[in-house]
Chains A and B, each alone.
Chain A
Amino acid sequence: NAGVTQTPKFRVLKTGQSMTLLCAQDMNHEYMYWYRQDPGMGLRLIHYSVGEGTTAKGEVPDGYNVSRLKKQNFLLGLESAAPSQTSVYFCASSQARGELFFGEGSRLTVL
């Protein structure tokens, strides 16, 4: 059982480039989330989704867009990457009763 899978695991971008991080879950969870974690800091919520076709802003949404076209997938897009978006990105999913299941993370470096 794969759980939550993030693609890619590592990526290096130049400032101004765009990219998409893919999160896939095979647990039929309704809710999905994107977090970022900077060195020495906790996780901060970027965007989340409460179901297919719906998305909402989290704590730090600026510079990111998301889409949830299929229940099992949650995409995080950076239209014009900036060095401040260098971080480790974690996707998570959950059912309505709260326990979050996280992926292994995607390390993004923006030069």
Chain B
Amino acid sequence: DAKTTQPNSMESNEEEPVHLPCNHSTISGTDYIHWYRQLPSQGPEYVIHGLTSNVNNRMASLAIAEDRKSSTLILHRATLRDAAVYYCIPGGDTGTASKLTFGTGTRLQVTL
């Protein structure tokens, strides 16, 4: 499994953009990059995933470096509800079971 490095914690002001970095220098050529988040006292929830190209959805954007050794999750306007632990997870998306390995992630604090 590819090893990931994420900051332990980050802070942001409400209504401002947040860039959450992830280093995955040992990622394999076929691994997707998945992002999940875990709100307090809840199970993780899917945020976004991508392979090579940048991806956008209603929750966030994912910017993937050209060499795929790092990626950045972008929350365009942080709200208090975005306070959570964010997990960056390289893993397969090839029709097999999603045996994703969750590390310790980045704890995002959002303040008024």
Contacts and interface: CB of A to CB of B under 8 A. Distances in A.
Interface stretch (B10-18, B70-78, B101-109): B101-109
Name B's interface SS: loop
A98 B32 contact: yes
Contacts of B104: 40-42
A7 to B, nearest CB: 14
B97 A90 contact: no
A58 interface: yes
Contacts, number: 64
Given A40-B104, A42-B105, A100 B98 contact: yes
Contacts of A31: 97-98
Interface bin, chain B: 20 to 34
Given A31-B97, A97-B95, A42 B43 contact: no
Given A43-B102, A50-B97, A102 B49 contact: no
Interface of B: 32, 34, 36, 41-46, 49, 87, 91-93, 95-105
